[in-house]
Amino acid sequence: MILDGDPVGRKVKLAFVGKGRRWRTVGGIARDAGLPRNVVRDYIAERNQCFVTPRVSPGGKKLYGIRLDDLDQDFPSRQSQVAGG
């Protein structure tokens, strides 16, 4: 998924860049992206092929992951910033 000037997509994807950000809640993505939760939820639903099927946290919240190949297309230098890097 190349961003093609999509400001919502850029913000959502940036929320996955950095250590410990492989799995995120909608609320965490929304907070870090500066977007309303419903916008993040709709974005993920509309582009579900770019996201990994949600897991459930110990607290019962859905955790979303982004497919790393999609993230690499838009942020090729992010490999050093993802968990463990």
pLDDT of amino acid 73? 59
Nearest to 16 by CA among 29, 26, 4: 29
The domains found in the chain, sorted by start residue, are: 7-75 (1.10.10.10)
pLDDT in 10s for each residue of the chain, 85 residues: 444 568 898 899 889 887 778 899 999 999 999 999 999 999 999 988 888 878 898 999 999 998 877 665 555 554 444 444 4
pLDDT of amino acid 26? 95
Distances (CA, A) of 59 to 12, 55, 77, 84: 23, 11, 33, 24
pLDDT of amino acid 74? 54
Strands, sheet with 62-66, edge to edge from the N-terminal-most edge strand: 23-24, 62-66, 51-56
pLDDT of amino acid 1? 45
pLDDT of amino acid 84? 40
